[in-house]
């Protein structure tokens, strides 16, 4: 069995047009090295990126019915970042099959995260062209099956509640939220602040904290939870 045939067995997909597979494995460095317009995988990478986004977006939409747009976007981003795609590429043994320039080879291109991620997307683009959307969808859902089980219906924690609240509200209205300090009580060494977050003239929520910044963050977090509960209701 040839190396390409064995690779296709690992993919779980046999190409009707093996030239598409060869193109998907050809790194742009080869054309740069030979200083002539040789075909390479960047166009397939562009196509594969779009196909991957559609397939994962649809799957997340169907399997996370309680998730809002923000959660769906973050879940998809977690699945398609370069590190995640490189892991899938390594699991498939993609690196050894890449066709690289000598310089790229010497610089460790077969193990470079970005090269592997791009190669994975190009491979998906080739599968899409060779077998159609359903073939691409089956390949993606098979490859990502384990990843889906680790995605929460809601984020475990919110690192930047003020930023996320602003993003959520500005998807609905051109106006950004603003914060109003309501009170500051207690001695200087143990101050307690209360802030409200306002949007379009209405108070969304209040928060407390030992600093104005902490109170604003708590108010933003409370507003996010309130708005998401309203979406689920």
What's the distance, CA 47 to chain centroid?
16
Among residues 151, 216, 133, 226, the alpha carbon closest in space to that of 179 is found at: 216
Are 209 and 196 within 8 A, CB to CB? no
Could you identify the residue written with the tokens 């166009």?
43
The DSSP letter of residue 108 is: T
Active site residues: 49, 121
| Inter-axis angle of helices 69-80 and 161-170, nearest 10 | 120
- Tokens 């995260």 sit at which residue? 113
């Amino acid at each position: 069995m040839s190396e390409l045939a064995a690779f296709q067995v690992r993919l779980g997909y046999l190409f009707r047009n093996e030239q598409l597979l060869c193109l998907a494995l050809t790194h742009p460095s080869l054309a740069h090295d030979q200083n002539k317009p040789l075909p390479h995988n960047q166009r397939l990478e562009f196509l594969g990126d779009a196909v991957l986004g559609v397939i994962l977006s649809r799957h997340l939409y169907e399997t996370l019915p309680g998730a809002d747009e923000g959660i769906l976007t973050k879940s998809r981003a977690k699945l398609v970042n370069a590190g995640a795609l490189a892991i899938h590429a390594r699991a498939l043994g993609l690196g050894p099959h890449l066709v690289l320039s000598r310089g790229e080879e010497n610089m460790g291109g077969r193990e470079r995260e970005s090269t592997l991620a791009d190669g994975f997307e190009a491979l998906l683009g080739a599968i899409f062209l060779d077998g159609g959307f359903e073939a691409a969808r089956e390949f993606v859902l098979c490859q990502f099956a384990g990843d889906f089980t680790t995605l929460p219906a809601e984020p475990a924690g919110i690192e930047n509640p003020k930023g996320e609240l602003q993003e959520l509200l500005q998807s609905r209205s051109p106006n950004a939220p603003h914060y109003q300090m309501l009170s500051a009580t207690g001695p200087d060494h143990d101050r307690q602040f209360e802030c409200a977050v306002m949007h379009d003239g209405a108070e969304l929520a209040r928060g407390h904290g030992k600093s104005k910044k902490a109170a604003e963050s708590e108010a933003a977090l409370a507003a996010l939870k309130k708005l998401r509960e309203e979406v689920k209701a």
